[in-house]
Copies of this chain bind each other. A is one copy, B any other.
Amino acid sequence: MVSEGLLFAYLRYMLSKKTKYGLKALTYLASQQGNTPVQISGIAKHENISQKFLESILLSLRKTGFLGSKKGKGGGYYLIKDPKEILMTDVMRVLEGPIAMVPCVSLNFYEKCDDCPDEASCSVHRLMLEVRDSALEVYRSRTLADLIF
């Protein structure tokens, strides 16, 4: 064990760079007028993101139906849907994975905890259920359009 919470420098933050960069890229695309393709290089430069890393993120957003792409000159990525129609719940689940902090309270990725004999009497289960609901409330009430400044 190294991390000790308060005592050491390292801190465990929960949002991955992948999600962070993905959200920034989506917001940037949403802020562009029209749906003309935007090149990876432009997004990467504007948002301070490693281009190669961003490449893989945009690719996964295309495969999951958020973005369209066009190859060759004048190509790039563009939003497929209206930003108002893109819920944060869906974006977060694709980029970050489950919204729940433990598998046993996940709506979309439910799994029984192997160490826990009874969910109903598990204190962690009940607390994390509340945390999940509070996060869901935020993600469900926000769309990509809300992220544009």
Which residues of A are interface residues toward B (Cβ below 8 A)?
Answer: 1, 3-7, 11-16, 18, 20, 23-24, 27, 47-49, 56, 60, 63-64, 88, 93-98, 100-103, 109, 115-117, 121-124, 126-128, 130-131, 134-135, 137-139, 142, 147-149
Do B64 and A5 touch (CB < 8 A)?
yes
Cα distance A146–B81 in the bound complex, in angstroms: 43
Q: Give the residues in chain B near A95, CB-CB below 8 Å.
A: 5
- B101 and A48 within 8 A (CB): no
Nearest B residue (CB) for A139: B131
Q: For the A-B complex with A15-B101, A15-B128, A131-B139 known, give 13 more contacts whose Cβ atoms are closer than 8 Å.
A: A4-B60, A5-B64, A6-B64, A11-B98, A11-B103, A12-B98, A13-B101, A14-B14, A14-B101, A15-B102, A88-B127, A123-B147, A127-B138
Which residues does chain B contribute within 8 Å of A122, judged by CB atoms?
A: 24
List the B residue with the shortest CB-CB distance to A20: B124
